[in-house]
Amino acid sequence: MQGLMQDWPLLTHRIIDHAARIHGDREIVTRSVEGPIVRTTYAEMRKRALKVAQRLDREGIKLGDRVATIAWNTARHMETWYGIMGIGAVCHTVNPRLFPDQIAWIINHAQDRIVITDLTFIPVLEKIADNVPSVERYVVLTDKAHMPQTTLKNAVAYEDWIAEVDGDFKWKEFDENTAAAMCYTSGTTGDPKGVLYSHRSNVLHSLMANSGDALGATSKDTMLPVVPLFHANSWGIVFSAPAMGTKLVMPGPKLDGESVYELLSTEKVTYTAGVPTVWLMLLQHMEKNNLKLPDLKVVICGGSAMPRSMIKAFDDMGVEVRHAWGMTEMSPLGTVGALQSQFAQLKGDAKLDVLQMQGYAPFMVEMQITDDAGKELPWDGKTFGRLKVRGPAIAGAYYQVDKQILDENGYFDTGDVATIDKYGYMRITDRSKDVIKSGGEWISSIDLENLAVGHPQVAEAAVIGVFHPKWDERPLLIIQPKEGQTVTRDDILQYMDGKIAKWWMPDDVVFVDSIPHTATGKILKTALRDQFKDYSLPTAAA
Amino acid sequence: MQGLMQDWPLLTHRIIDHAARIHGDREIVTRSVEGPIVRTTYAEMRKRALKVAQRLDREGIKLGDRVATIAWNTARHMETWYGIMGIGAVCHTVNPRLFPDQIAWIINHAQDRIVITDLTFIPVLEKIADNVPSVERYVVLTDKAHMPQTTLKNAVAYEDWIAEVDGDFKWKEFDENTAAAMCYTSGTTGDPKGVLYSHRSNVLHSLMANSGDALGATSKDTMLPVVPLFHANSWGIVFSAPAMGTKLVMPGPKLDGESVYELLSTEKVTYTAGVPTVWLMLLQHMEKNNLKLPDLKVVICGGSAMPRSMIKAFDDMGVEVRHAWGMTEMSPLGTVGALQSQFAQLKGDAKLDVLQMQGYAPFMVEMQITDDAGKELPWDGKTFGRLKVRGPAIAGAYYQVDKQILDENGYFDTGDVATIDKYGYMRITDRSKDVIKSGGEWISSIDLENLAVGHPQVAEAAVIGVFHPKWDERPLLIIQPKEGQTVTRDDILQYMDGKIAKWWMPDDVVFVDSIPHTATGKILKTALRDQFKDYSLPTAAA
């Protein structure tokens, strides 16, 4: 028997409709790409999003067609999302930090018909324009006065382009499972893979984000998403903020400490979200100039693990730190580290211990840890295994990749290795391709690296598994000493001794001038594995 | 083009799964019907709900079969909900405060196969047992020691009944639009009408409730729902609390001021929800005994309008008051009166003015006010019209009633008359059947009644529209004076003069010994209209 409730599909444009209706005067403040700080409202944004929809419709963009955006966090960028999705087209966010060839590859794979971009990215797009034949026109997010000369095909200034229509337009109606947005993940190996979000998944994710223990901002809050719109939906904030009527502050292209501080301070921001690099720059700027942020309540930090010292710095300022973990494939929120009631009274190191974990899954994210055979492992905070996830805002397949990515229970393997404790708090211990499998037991490369960098003469450390005739794999520790410093194998091993289990101790230590990194700053372990693929451990000879 | 996200239907039992997994130790504290205060946890509740599911399955209860509950707010009652819904059966909550004949009518209409009930309600069920042939068995929410002699068919003590199975059972899988629960509304006219909730609507409603500006409790909060589970889903709290890991305190049968205060105080409750009558008893008890509730943060009040003096009393205590409005047909939340940012700094009367309105619609509730012809009216805070609503947790039809209840735009007419201001704050001004239609303009009977009861000699006032040859209808004011007091027509009219528009002034005033009421305490206007149906207004003769 079916329930008798109304058929009201979960469509993203209903969010901006709600914001315009109930929170119409609430502001979106932007540091524009042109320079000045500009202000608009949710009511105004909805009107302009409708013009985008109408203009795209006139351009012949149909249900399912892909429209790319390569742009900073601005109100203009945000309104194009609602405009694109509101006619059932797919908003494809492209990361401008990728290499030009990767950008071209992704645009070709998605077959984007229109590219909407900022002034900043015209040069890189001009470089690849000849290699992306699907693109019919480029729309530059600026006005006539700032529009430069460009060789880009049918290039037009955004303000001129939307001025061609009157905004007398209605959103299209379609099923909630219709594709709404697309974002490619680029690993260190293989081609980028497209995640295809639906209207339903975007709306459900925003509801999840707005619960008090996830992001949890309200209509009285002001949110500054430093995390880019091109990075996994800016953690869904362009949907969750208007759904609640939260005022938004968009940082545009300037993400340095001084610029972010200025906006946080002048706009009295209460919630902000971004990666550790940004917070490091902010904290350094604040310390140097003896600055305070009395209005700031919550900092959400994800993308990579937040150092303990940074958590402590915010905690000392009276700011609540919420560690978050997720993936493009998860829309992206997987866990958020709000304090559950049993931890609410913790202080000092005990509190930092909890805040340093990646947090727990909100309702609608189900997690498992398993061994290689798929057997579930206990949630004891110690045992670590492959982290798998299930939920309505988690990818079930990649765009045009004919490969099953879910296991027989419907779980997606995140590629991370983690522990989960009895309260559901998850801690990432490694990537599954980096974990060292020693005689059937797993050793976390990240834990060893974190320990080794604590040595005063070590600049950076990397751990990889190398072949061992008896144990299959054993850890090799690769050290980049601090400039002008010398340190020996025995120094390092002695330093580590007693701080970890005996059988976790690296079988050897080697020294390099420089540890290689990916474009996004992660250690390039594939290169290290290649470099040391024939390395013979001293223990192997025994 | 469809998105490529996982198929993860929104099913209510996934909420208790989540609570058990992530917030397994969090407590549900109950003042039991037997007397003592008892404690359980979400992990334990899930185990017992699975036993209920398994036991119902063994009883032959199938997808779509109706199982009734007639019971107080207790952990046992709550776990039966998850058990019933977890096999795709329909949990039919019956209001024990109805007349026995109405209860029988409702059970027959729903064709309930099993009735789960509290010790309290055995006598009334014994009275109607012969008239409800669909019921195969009665399960009494108690243990063997407390089980009384009863003539109820196949009666069994709940604890014995679930002890017959081992709990090794899996929830059934089905579509998210499957019926999950059912609740009948009983107006003053016509037969009761069944609202049939789906798993999807229950889950979406709980997500909506958990946003910061709706109910907004977190895993650090403790929630006491005074509002009964048999009253419109207890405002969804049995779903929203476990979804967040909020500790629950269930008041059982004792809703007097002293009992509610005791639980609020000893369990350090931070959130509570109920109707004004309950808060009146609580405030009187606290004042009389000079008591405080330092942990209480938020009181949510709905069911009927909260008097200004009550709002002030809580506000003076430092407790945030959120006025809520909704209907059984809306799952039930329609609006919640959290303060938006532009009101956050208000104090005194200006603050009370905002808090006294019914609040604004959260995302997923769309509202309109229209005239009788269906034309939309402006949101100016003054114009009032028929209040219509649309959303995924709002009824689209009644159970086995073959009548279209939505207008051509998919809106449901609430039967209320309201104003909405530019911020979306709604104020109920009347019921549409009670509003007086004078020459095409509307006059609020409730506004006139509220004004008239302000007169020191008036105990209660009712206003109805009576026939007028020129204006179609004009207001007649019916006054019940305070005992032993006398008051004249002119006294009243003079008192009202200048406080309302001239054309709103009642055309006549009559006095009665007693104004009739419904079972739930509302003025029975049908009886008054009947009594005064031939009343000739002095103005009609002119």
Measured between alpha carbons, how far is residue A194 from residues A108, A121, A354, B274 in Å? 12, 21, 34, 48
As a whole number, mean pLDDT of residues B216-239 equals 94
As a whole number, mean pLDDT of residues B471-495 equals 93
As a whole number, mean pLDDT of residues B268-281 equals 95
Encoded tokens for B239: 């779903």
What mean pLDDT is reported for chain B? 95
Find out whether B322 and B312 touch, Cβ atoms under 8 Å: no
Taking phi over 0 as left and psi of -120 to 50 as alpha, with beta for the rest, B303 belongs to left
pLDDT tens profile A317-340: 999 999 999 999 999 999 999 999
Q: Do B23 and A208 touch (CB under 8 A)?
A: no
Active-site residue, A287 included:
no
Q: Quick check: B369 pLDDT over 90?
A: yes
In this prediction, residue B187 has a pLDDT band, given cuts at 50, 70 and 90, of low
Q: Quick check: A519 pLDDT over 80?
A: no
End-to-end CA distance of chain B: 69
Chain A residues 464-523 with CB within 8 Å of chain B: none
Q: What is the pLDDT of residue B304?
A: 81
In this prediction, residue A174 has a pLDDT band, given cuts at 50, 70 and 90, of very high
Question: Is residue B20 helix, strand or coil?
Answer: helix
Find out whether B229 and B69 touch, Cβ atoms under 8 Å: yes
Q: Which of A84-93, A200-209, A509-518 has the lowest mean pLDDT?
A: A509-518
> If you count DSSP H runs as helices and E runs as strands, how many of each does chain A have, helices first?
16, 24
The beta-carbon neighbor of B207 closest among A14, A177, A207 is A207
Long-range Cβ contacts of B398-402 (<8 Å, 24+ apart):
B398/A4, B398/B193, B398/B194, B398/B195, B398/B196, B399/A4, B399/B109, B399/B110, B399/B182, B399/B193, B399/B194, B399/B195, B399/B196, B400/B109, B400/B194, B401/B193, B401/B194
Tokens 């059912």 correspond to what residue? Answer: B182
- Is A13 at the interface with chain B, CB within 8 A? no
Distance CA A164, CA A161 (A): 6
End-to-end CA distance of chain A: 70
pLDDT tens profile B7-28: 999 999 999 999 999 999 999 9
As a whole number, mean pLDDT of residues B310-322 equals 95
| Residue positions counted in chain B | 542
Distance CA A210, CA B213 (A): 10
Encoded tokens for B234: 């207890």
- Is B236 at the interface with chain A, CB within 8 A? no
- Is A363 at the interface with chain B, CB within 8 A? yes
| B175 neighbourhood in chain A, CB within 8 Å | 2
Whether the domain at A366-431 and the domain at A436-531 fall into the same CATH topology: no
Q: Which residues pair with B359 in a beta bridge?
A: B426
Encoded tokens for B76: 């046992």
Tokens 């009930």 correspond to what residue? Answer: B117
| Domain-wise residue ranges, chain A | 8-21+36-197, 366-431, 436-531
Output b/e per residue, A363-375; b: 16+ Cβ within 10 A.
Answer: bbbbbbbbeeeee
Distance CA A81, CA A49 (A): 8
Output b/e per residue, A303-341; b: 16+ Cβ within 10 A.
Answer: bebbeeebbbbbbeeebbbbbbbbbbbbbbbbbbbbbbb
- Interface size A-B, in CB pairs within 8 Å, comes to 228
Strands A320-326 and A333-336 come out as antiparallel
- Is B351 at the interface with chain A, CB within 8 A? no
Q: What is the pLDDT of residue B419?
A: 96
- Is A216 at the interface with chain B, CB within 8 A? yes
The beta-carbon neighbor of B64 closest among A1, A24, A363 is A1
Q: Do A363 and B244 touch (CB under 8 A)?
A: yes
- Is B424 at the interface with chain A, CB within 8 A? yes
In this prediction, residue A517 has a pLDDT band, given cuts at 50, 70 and 90, of confident
The beta-carbon neighbor of A15 closest among B18, B338, B363 is B363
Burial class (CB in 10 A: 0-12, 13-18, 19+), B145: exposed
Tokens 């079988």 correspond to what residue? Answer: A507
Among B329, B414, B449, B504, which one carries the catalytic annotation?
Answer: B329
CA atoms B323, B326, B332, B337: torsion sign: negative
Measured between alpha carbons, how far is residue B240 from residues A75, A220, B45, B222, B332 in Å? 33, 22, 15, 12, 13
Min CA distance, A173 vs chain B (Å)? 13
CB atoms within 10 A of CB B323: 25
Q: Which residue type does A291 have?
A: L
Selected for mutation to probe chain B from A23, A270, A363, A401 (highest B CB count within 10 Å) is A363
Tokens 């069994």 correspond to what residue? Answer: B156
Among B442, B449, B471, B473, which one carries the catalytic annotation?
Answer: B442
Nearest CA in chain B to A216: B212
In this prediction, residue B432 has a pLDDT band, given cuts at 50, 70 and 90, of confident
Among A34, A44, A120, A185, which one carries the catalytic annotation?
Answer: A185
Given this structure, which CATH class describes domain A8-21+36-197?
Answer: alpha beta
CB atoms within 10 A of CB B486: 9
Contacts of B199 (CB under 8 A, 6+ apart): A3, B9, B10, B11, B12, B85, B174, B176, B177, B178, B180
Active-site residue, A442 included:
yes
Find out whether A45 and A82 touch, Cβ atoms under 8 Å: yes
| A406 neighbourhood in chain B, CB within 8 Å | 6
Please report the DSSP string for B334-374 in residue order: EEE-PPPGGGTT--HHHHHHHHHS-BBPPTT-EEEEE-TT-
Nearest CA in chain B to A339: B220
Active-site residue, B442 included:
yes
Distance CA A207, CA B240 (A): 12
Q: What percent of chain B has pLDDT over 70?
A: 99
Q: What percent of chain A has pLDDT over 90?
A: 87
Min CA distance, A220 vs chain B (Å)? 4
B124 or A442, which is more confident? B124
Distance CA B147, CA B157 (A): 6
Q: What is the pLDDT of residue A539?
A: 87
Active-site residue, A93 included:
no
Q: Which of A370-374, B261-265, B421-425 has the lowest mean pLDDT?
A: A370-374
Q: Quick check: A61 pLDDT over 80?
A: yes
| A220 neighbourhood in chain B, CB within 8 Å | 339-341, 344
Contacts of A447 (CB under 8 A, 6+ apart): A429, A430, A500, A504
Distance CA A420, CA A378 (A): 8
- Is B339 at the interface with chain A, CB within 8 A? yes
In this prediction, residue A89 has a pLDDT band, given cuts at 50, 70 and 90, of very high
ipTM: 0.93
What are the start-end ranges of the E strands in A260-363?
Answer: 271-274, 298-301, 320-326, 333-336
Q: What is the largest CA-CA distance in chain B?
A: 80
Q: Which residues pair with A69 in a beta bridge?
A: A93, A116
> pTM score > 0.95 for this model?
no
The beta-carbon neighbor of B424 closest among A21, A197, A360 is A21
As a whole number, mean pLDDT of residues B276-300 equals 96
Find out whether A264 and A312 touch, Cβ atoms under 8 Å: no
CA B165 to chain centre: 35
Contacts of A209 (CB under 8 A, 6+ apart): A215, A235, A236, A237, A239, A240, A333
Nearest CA in chain A to B15: A363
- Is A404 at the interface with chain B, CB within 8 A? no
pLDDT tens profile A185-216: 976 567 899 999 999 999 999 999 999 999 99
In this prediction, residue B520 has a pLDDT band, given cuts at 50, 70 and 90, of low
Q: What is the pLDDT of residue B188?
A: 57
- Fold assignment, B436-531: GMP Synthetase; Chain A, domain 3 (3.30.300)
Q: Which residues pair with A28 in a beta bridge?
A: A40, A248
**Helix H or strand E segment including B110:** helix B100-110
Q: Do A6 and B340 touch (CB under 8 A)?
A: no
Distance CA A534, CA A542 (A): 17
Q: Do B219 and A338 touch (CB under 8 A)?
A: yes
The secondary structure of residue A144, as a DSSP letter, is G
The beta-carbon neighbor of A424 closest among B21, B247, B391 is B21
Given this structure, which CATH class describes domain B366-431?
Answer: mainly beta
Find out whether B429 and B418 touch, Cβ atoms under 8 Å: yes
| A411 neighbourhood in chain B, CB within 8 Å | none
- Is B366 at the interface with chain A, CB within 8 A? yes
Q: Which residues pair with B196 in a beta bridge?
A: B182
pLDDT tens profile A11-20: 999 999 999 9
Burial class (CB in 10 A: 0-12, 13-18, 19+), A85: buried
Q: What is the pLDDT of residue A216?
A: 93
Min CA distance, A359 vs chain B (Å)? 11
Rounded (10°) angle between helices A276-288 and A308-316? 50
As a whole number, mean pLDDT of residues A35-42 equals 98
Distance CA B125, CA B113 (A): 14
Min CA distance, B423 vs chain A (Å)? 5
Nearest CA in chain A to B405: A6
| B395 neighbourhood in chain A, CB within 8 Å | 4-6
| B422 neighbourhood in chain A, CB within 8 Å | 24
Q: Quick check: A373 pLDDT over 80?
A: yes
Distance CA A334, CA B199 (A): 23
| B64 neighbourhood in chain A, CB within 8 Å | 1
